[in-house]
């Protein structure tokens, strides 16, 4: 069985104004205690996965690149000791510009990290400052150059649209600048103002100067057009890659590959059970192997729902054969009416045995997917 591992590093240099992730600045002693707890959890969960091959490891956060690279190397060593890591496994570290240097990059390479995901968000320094990012575009350029120099041949750049004060022109400028660098993968998400963030308060007071819906829609269209012209294929609603460079780890979530998440707030899907670790740092550090909360044993209906609404995010869609193998029924037997209605409305289409969202369907994907809930 194939397995993915996710390691949550919840530390950041400073909190961004829009961020509701489980992340915060912390002194280095706290970080070190957390890394020791992570090592225990990684080791402790290993024996149950004897028949599994780990095909991807993802260090996410937070800002994994903000902690000592030697700790990432130690975590990788423990992963190699406690799990069967495929020689071809994709090993990604999320990084922020301004937190990378030659030493860290070389340490990552020696530890077997072969992919970096760099959070740029925008190439406009004013937009970056409004987001509360710690870096400038110049620092991103330097990080990107250092990563290439260190031998990384698989780089993702994260971008965001619909930012405060952002115009279509400035967004296109960001896209063009990034495309000129030729990263292998680009993730392009729209800003969502999340409850409880400083951005939500600003929005309530009418002080967040967001682009109009029409401008946001144009940004979204221009992403697909400009990236498409340069050979990037959209393989998921918000993710684009050069041929063969789709992210193994993210794709795994959408095809419901088993994964184990380590660290605070980290979710897992294991033998059709979803669970999540405590979000409390001290509870986790004290008992990393006994801190599971929110355990959900998925019913067959829930598994089917997930198969549909996760799988349809991929532009390749879902295969009737895969559905039959798992549930011993065809997609049409279970969802015939919903499928027919959405095909009639031009939102879904069959391609051979694959059911996928049309371009129009992608634009209203939440509406389409909601109809597959029992």
Q: Give whichever of 61 and 183 is closer to ligand SF4, judged by the CB atom.
A: 61
CB of 322 to ligand SF4, least distance (A): 34
Nearer to ligand SF4, 16 or 208 (CB): 16
Q: Which is nearer to ligand SF4, 62 or 317 (CB)?
A: 62
Rounded Cα gap, residues 227 and 179, in angstroms: 7
From the CB of residue 328, how many other CB atoms can be counted at a distance below 10 Å?
A: 9
Q: What's the token pair of residue 196?
A: 């409880």
**Residue placing its CB nearer to ligand SF4 in the complex, 194 or 225:** 194
Question: Smallest distance, Å, CB 12 to ligand SF4?
Answer: 3
| Nearest distance from C-beta of residue 96 to ligand SF4, angstroms | 5
Closest Cα to residue 31, out of 51, 13, 15, 11?
A: 11
Answer yes or no: are the C-beta atoms of 307 and 318 closer than 8 Å: yes
| Closer of 21 and 350 to ligand SF4 (Cβ) | 21
How far apart, in whole angstroms, are the C-alpha atoms of residue 178 and residue 173?
Answer: 9
Q: How far is the CB of 166 from ligand SF4 (least distance, A)?
A: 16
* Closest distance of CB 142 from ligand SF4, Å: 17
Give Cβ neighbours of residue 146 (< 8 Å, ≥ 6 apart): 100, 101, 102, 105
CB of 99 to ligand SF4, least distance (A): 9
Nearer to ligand SF4 by C-beta: 119 or 288? 119
Query: Contact 190/220 with Cβ under 8 angstroms?
Result: yes
Find out whether 267 and 261 touch, Cβ atoms under 8 Å.
Answer: yes
Alpha-helix runs per DSSP H in the chain? 28-45, 69-82, 102-111, 125-131, 137-149, 168-181, 198-204, 213-229, 248-254, 281-286, 300-311, 320-327, 331-344, 359-363, 365-370
Query: Is the CB of 45 or the CB of 133 nearer to ligand SF4?
Result: 133
Give min distance, CB of 60 to ligand SF4, in A. Answer: 9
In angstroms, the CA 37 to CA 287 distance is: 8
Of 63 and 239, which has the nearer Cβ to ligand SF4? 63
Contact residues toward ligand SF4 (CB under 6 A) are 12, 15-16, 19, 21, 23, 61-63, 96, 119
Cα distance between residue 244 and residue 14, in whole Å: 35
**Chain center to CA of 133:** 18
Q: How far is the CB of 10 from ligand SF4 (least distance, A)?
A: 8
CB 198 within 8 A of CB 20: no
């Amino acid at each position: 069985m194939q397995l993915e591992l996710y390691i949550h590093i919840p530390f950041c240099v400073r909190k961004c104004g829009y961020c509701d992730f489980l992340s915060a600045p912390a002194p280095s002693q706290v970080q070190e205690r957390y890394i020791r707890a992570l090592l225990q959890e990684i080791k402790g969960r290993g024996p149950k996965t004897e028949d599994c091959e780990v095909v991807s490891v993802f260090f996410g956060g937070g800002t994994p690149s903000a902690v000592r690279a030697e700790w990432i190397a130690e975590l990788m060593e423990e992963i190699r000791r406690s799990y069967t890591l495929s020689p071809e496994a994709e090993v990604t570290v999320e990084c922020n510009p301004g937190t990378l240097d030659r030493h860290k990059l070389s340490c990552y390479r020696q530890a077997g990290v072969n992919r970096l995901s760099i959070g740029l968000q925008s190439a406009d320094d004013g937009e970056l400052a409004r987001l509360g990012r710690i870096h400038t575009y110049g620092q991103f350029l330097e990080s990107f150059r250092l990563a290439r120099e260190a031998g990384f041949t698989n780089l993702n750049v994260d971008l965001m649209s619909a930012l405060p004060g952002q115009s279509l022109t400035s967004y296109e400028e960001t896209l063009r600048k990034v495309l000129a660098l030729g990263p292998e993968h680009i993730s392009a998400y729209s800003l969502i103002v999340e409850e409880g963030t400083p951005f939500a308060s600003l929005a309530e007071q009418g002080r967040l100067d967001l682009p109009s819906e029409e401008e946001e829609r144009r940004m979204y269209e221009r992403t697909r057009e400009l990236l498409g012209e340069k050979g990037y294929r959209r393989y998921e609603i918000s993710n684009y890659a050069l041929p063969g460079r789709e992210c193994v780890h993210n794709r795994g979530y959408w095809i419901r590959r088993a994964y184990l998440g380590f660290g605070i707030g980290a979710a897992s899907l294991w033998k059709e059970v979803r669970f999540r670790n405590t979000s409390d740092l001290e509870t986790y550090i004290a008992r990393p192997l006994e801190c599971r909360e929110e355990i959900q044993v998925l019913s067959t209906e829930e598994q089917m729902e997930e198969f549909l609404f996760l799988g349809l995010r991929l532009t390749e869609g879902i295969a009737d054969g895969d559905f039959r193998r798992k549930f011993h029924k065809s997609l049409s037997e279970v969802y015939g009416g919903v499928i027919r209605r959405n095909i009639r409305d031009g939102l879904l289409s069959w391609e051979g045995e694959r059911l996928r969202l049309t371009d129009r369907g992608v634009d209203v994907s939440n509406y389409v997917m909601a109809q597959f809930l029992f």
